[in-house]
Structure 1
Amino acid sequence: MSEGPHLTFDLDQPGISQGHLVVPKGADCEALSLSVFSLNKGAGPRLLITGGCHGNELEGPIVARRLVEWLPEAQTCGRIIIVSVLNPPAVQAFTRNTPIDGLNLNRVFPGRANGSVTERIADAISRLLLPMADTVFDLHSFGPTWDFPPSTTTHPIADQDLMAKTIKMAEAFKLPMTLVWDHPDTPGMFDISAHNQGKVFVCAELGGGTIGAENLAIYEAGVRNALIALGLIEGKAECPIFRQRKSSQTLQTRRPADELASPARGIFEPRCSMLDEVKQGDLIGILHPMDSSSAASTDIRLPSTSIVCGIRSGGYVEVNEWLALLARSLAH
């Protein structure tokens, strides 16, 4: 019988600590060691920052490593735990899901101690790190086939007090968009496990398919703003410049109307950009058939006046694949 998940160091010791979260071996692979950084400066907020949940979203691990470089001089109180790569096999393979078992780590929380490797990772995080935090920042990006602005996202939460705290924390990043996404309560999502424990959980996202210096700077600035809001570091929060302007807006989606799906197979040509305000009937893209050069293309028009949160950045799509994610201002 293999030993259970464990940390190689004591998170409660003061100052900087570094070591590993060991995920036990199973029938499918040997044990994994997830690098963990902890900075404990006594009383104050308790924050867990994670990246690399999905292996093809590398902005999170990069920003998490940047934090490790400057936090020791900047942090004034509380404790911050950073796991820059939650899913090493997926990151090494640059795949969304774990290549060993094909599972999506963000769909198997709280995990299983005797499950496959992805479930064992979730179990280790759920048992040993999540209870140590009051707030979680999970650093994602929207994937290589979408244009999506630097954003913070959350889902509707039944606990209205926790919902208000979560939106306030998400807005503290001051990124161009805060999105309350009416996403189905997919079993096994990391944020649902955190919410069930009363934790404030904010997911940071950005898209575009490439790791650019400007986006990384905006992402890091947003995390810094949130650390200031928590009182973990000192300073003045500022809205990052995005698309030549400083702005921040809070939006909400409605399912399923705001998830614009493709009516057919083809190559999608976007005709609008993220954060564009578009009116009902406006052209937002064209779907070109691939099997005939003479067949007519299909105009994709907006069903209702909305703001474009995200848009497919071109590419081949199947029937019912998303072409755009739409939203409108949140009143709160």
Structure 2
Amino acid sequence: MEATQKPAASNPIKCDIDLDADGKHIGYLRLPHSVHRSAYGWIPIPVASIKRGDGPVVIISAGTHGDEYEGQIIVSRLIREIDAEMVSGQLILLPMANAPAAEAGLRTSPLDDGNLNRLYPGDPLGTPTQIIAHYIEHHLLSRAQYMIDLHSGGTSLVYDGANMMGLEPRTPEEEKHVTDLLKAFGLPKAFLYAPNSVNVTAAARRQNAICFLTELGGGGNVDASLVKQGRQGLLHLLGFLKVLGGGLVPASAPSQARLMTIDRATHYVYAMDHGVYEPLVELGAKVRKGQSAALIHFPSNPKQEPVTVCFEGDGEVICRRAIAMVSRGDCIFQLASERRPLV
């Protein structure tokens, strides 16, 4: 007797707006969540759909990490500014993709410690963050051609200005397309990196969509100039994709992007001791392999000399830790190197 295959579990999230309807609709993704104070409750995840006729479907999200604020401001503003008559296709906007984390101002969800950008493809029977990841990949990305997920460095990291990231292209045709999109977004630095199967860029690839991330500042603060650059670049990209028209589309991108690459093996610097770190280089510095990166000091044992941490490769400092206290395994610096001129 042949074994019967169980049907795939359905995602419990319900969207209270019609994603197939033309017009501008604002509501919530309702994630059931039964707790002591609310036995039959649900978690509200804000969502908006702005749709008119045929054209690309683009997801714009922020709040994947709840302590990254520039993107939440940008997406919320776009929901207010964009009307259906400006759109050819559809924009799906999520200003607080991991709503519990964003409500708490934390990188990960206080409900399950879930890092939304490390849990794809998710699980409809899993924890709240796994359920959100599953919904985004299988119910939103499955209908989209593009996704822009707006990040910054959060509480623990600060990035050097406005940056964007995308996966390494697989074919010359895809490389040309991705390069054109990076140029249209036009943030000062554009990084290409190897796939990571558990983040949203890989989720998009599995659904035959292209996803870009931004990194806009960080340190738990909001930099108004980076909000402005991120918004300008995003609107210019939406105009380039012909999903958005009208007066909101700027005449140009914020800048001419430099295409860079990140090497996971040599471009990260980690603390190997518990203490207080003193950076020896600034953001934007060009460094060499073996150069001193930081000193780790030990105030609890003042007789102990500080430990020097060195760079393991050549590159440019694009990110540094914002919190002085470190433990073994904490990232202190991230580098990138020139890839080649944009075509």
TM-score > 0.5, shorter chain as reference: yes
Q: Secondary structure at the match of 1:206?
A: strand
Residue 27 (structure 2) pairs with residue 19 (structure 1): yes
Counterpart residue number, 1:206: 216
Match of 2:252 among 224, 235, 238: 238
* Distance in 2 (alpha carbons) for counterparts of 1:64 and 1:274: 27
Change in CA separation of 1:275 and 1:74 when aligned onto 2, cut-off 3 Å: farther
* Distance in 1 (alpha carbons) for counterparts of 2:309 and 2:85: 49
Match of 1:295 among 291, 304, 321: 304
CA drift of 1:164 comes to: 4.7
Residue 273 (structure 2) pairs with residue 261 (structure 1): no
Counterpart residue number, 2:80: 69
1:223 is matched by which residue type in structure 2?
L
* Distance in 2 (alpha carbons) for counterparts of 1:60 and 1:329: 26
Give the unaligned 5+ runs of structure 1.
241-245
1:111 is matched by which residue type in structure 2?
G
* Distance in 1 (alpha carbons) for counterparts of 2:34 and 2:10: 8
CA drift of 1:313 comes to: 3.0
CA drift of 1:300 comes to: 3.7
Contact 1:171 1:250 in 2 (8 A): no
Q: Given the two structures, how large is their TM-score scaled by the length of structure 1?
A: 0.87
Give the unaligned 5+ runs of structure 2.
1-8
Q: Secondary structure at the match of 1:221?
A: helix
CA drift of 1:268 comes to: 1.6
Counterpart residue number, 1:49: 60
Q: Secondary structure at the match of 2:237?
A: helix
Deviates more, 1:23-32 or 1:106-115: 23-32
Please list the CA deviations of residues 118-139 of structure 1 after superposition, one character each: whole Å capped at 9, or x if unmatched.
1222222233222221100111
Contact 2:23 2:52 in 1 (8 A): yes
Counterpart residue number, 2:180: 168
Contact 1:152 1:171 in 2 (8 A): no
Contact 1:23 1:124 in 2 (8 A): no
* Distance in 2 (alpha carbons) for counterparts of 1:239 and 1:275: 22
**Aligned pairs (5 A) from 1:75-224:** 75-148=86-159, 149-156=161-168, 158=170, 161-162=173-174, 164-182=176-194, 185=196, 187-209=197-219, 210-224=221-235
* Distance in 2 (alpha carbons) for counterparts of 1:251 and 1:79: 31
Please list the CA deviations of residues 224-243 of structure 1 after superposition, one character each: whole Å capped at 9, or x if unmatched.
12112212234455353xxx
RMSD value over aligned CA atoms?
2.7
Q: Secondary structure at the match of 1:207?
A: strand
Please list the CA deviations of residues 181-210 of structure 1 after superposition, one character each: whole Å capped at 9, or x if unmatched.
346x2x432221111111000111123311
Contact 2:11 2:135 in 1 (8 A): no
Residue 322 (structure 2) pairs with residue 310 (structure 1): no
1:255 is matched by which residue type in structure 2?
R
* Distance in 1 (alpha carbons) for counterparts of 2:339 and 2:64: 28
CA drift of 1:94 comes to: 1.3
Deviates more, 1:288-297 or 1:216-225: 288-297
Please list the CA deviations of residues 273-315 of structure 1 after superposition, one character each: whole Å capped at 9, or x if unmatched.
3232234454443322233334322344444431112122351
Q: Given the two structures, how large is their TM-score scaled by the length of structure 2?
A: 0.85
